[in-house]
Structure 1
Amino acid sequence: MKKIFTVLAWVQFLAVIVQFFLAATGAVKTSPTEQAFSAHRMLGYSILLVAVVVTLAGAVAKMPGRIVGMAGLVIGLVLVQVLIREVAKAIGDDSTAGALVFGLHAINGLFLMGLTEQIAQRARKIAWPPVAEARLGQTAS
C-alpha cells in the first residue's frame, strides 16, 4: 500500500507541474479569457480530488503522521487557491488590488509544488528504501 501511496503522490506532483503549464498557456493568449483558463481550472479541481485520495491512502497505508499531515495540507492549500481566485474576482480582476491579490495564487501554487514534491520524495524513501538500509533491516530480524 505504501508503494501505491507513493505513485499517487508522484501523480499529484506531476499534476501540479502540468497546472503551471496550463496557467502559462492561458496567460499568454493575446486576450486571456475565462475560457483560456478552463483546462487550468478543471485540473485544479482534479488536484483537490487527488489530494483527498492521497491523504486517505496515506492514512490507510500507515505512512508516518508527518507525511499524512503534509498530504492533508495540500487539500488546504488547494482550497486557498480557490479562495484567492474568488477574493480577487470580488475585488475586481481589472483593478490593481485584484491583480495583487491574484498574484498570491501563483505564490501559493509554488508552495503546492514544493509540498507535493516533498511528499513524493519522502514517500519514495519509505516505499523503496535504499538497498543498504533494506539489507540492514533484513539482518536485524
Structure 2
Amino acid sequence: MRKVFAGLAALLVLVVVAQFYFAASGAFSTAPNDESFRPHRAMGYVIFLLPVLMTIVAALARMPGRLIGMTGLIAGLAVVQVVIAVLARAFNDTGDTSTTAGQLVFGLHAINGLIILAVAGTVARQARALPRSAVPHRRAGVDTDAGAPGPAAGSAQPAS
C-alpha cells in the first residue's frame, strides 16, 4: 500500500507541473478564455481528487499522521485555488476599468499553486523514503529481513 501511495505522490507532482504548463499555454492562447483555460480547469479537478484518494490510501496504510495531513492539505489548497479565482472574478466584475484589485487577488492563484507544488514535492519525497525506513516484520523469532546489517534474531551477543 505504501508503494501505491508513493506512486500516486509522484503522479501528483507530475500533474501539478502539467497544471502550470496548461496555465501558461492558456494565458498565451489566442482562443477565448473559456476555451483556452479548459485543460487547466479540468486538471484542477484532478489536483483535488487525487490527494483525496491519496489521503484515504495513506490512512488505510496507517502512514504517519503528518503525511496524511499534508496530503489532505493539498486537497484543501486546491479548494483555495477555486476561491481565489471566484474572488478575482468578483473584483473584476465591479465595473472598475483598472481591474487592479482583481489582478492582485488573482496573483495569489499562482502563489498558492507554487505552495501546492512544494507540498506535493514534500509528500512525494517522504513517501519514497517510507519503504526504506519501514520496520521489518518479525514472526515467531524468524528474521524476515534477511541480509540486513546487524545481528539476526536469536543470535548470541558478545558479552561486554
TM-score by length of 1: 0.89
Report the counterpart of residue 66 of structure 1 in structure 2: 66
Structure 2 counterparts to residues 12-91 of structure 1, below 5 A: 12-30=12-30, 33-91=33-91
Determine if contact 1:19/1:44 at 8 Å carries over to the other structure: yes
Distance across 2 between alignment mates of 1:83 and 1:124: 32
**How far off its partner does 1:98 sit?**
0.3
Report 1 or 2 for greater relative contact order, CA contacts < 8 Å, sequence distance ≥ 6.
1
Determine if contact 1:6/1:127 at 8 Å carries over to the other structure: no
Output the aligned Cα RMSD. Answer: 2.3
- For residues 89 and 15 of structure 1, do their structure 2 counterparts lie closer, same or farther at Cα, with a shift above 3 Å needed? same
Q: Residue deviations 1:73-128, cap 9 Å, x none?
A: 00110000000000001111771100110000000000000000000000100024
Determine if contact 1:70/1:119 at 8 Å carries over to the other structure: yes
Determine if contact 1:9/1:119 at 8 Å carries over to the other structure: yes
- For residues 140 and 55 of structure 1, do their structure 2 counterparts lie closer, same or farther at Cα, with a shift above 3 Å needed? farther
Determine if contact 1:22/1:39 at 8 Å carries over to the other structure: yes
Distance across 2 between alignment mates of 1:65 and 1:137: 29
- For residues 96 and 53 of structure 1, do their structure 2 counterparts lie closer, same or farther at Cα, with a shift above 3 Å needed? same
**Is 1:121 equivalent to 2:130 in the alignment?**
no
TM-score by length of 2: 0.79
**How far off its partner does 1:46 sit?**
1.3
Structure richer in helix, relative to its length: 1
Report the counterpart of residue 110 of structure 2 in structure 1: 106
Determine if contact 1:26/1:32 at 8 Å carries over to the other structure: no
Report the counterpart of residue 139 of structure 2 in structure 1: none
- For residues 136 and 44 of structure 1, do their structure 2 counterparts lie closer, same or farther at Cα, with a shift above 3 Å needed? farther
Distance across 1 between alignment mates of 2:30 and 2:103: 18
Q: Which 4+ residue blocks in structure 1 deviate beyond 3 angstroms? A: 136-141
Partner of 2:63, secondary structure, is: coil
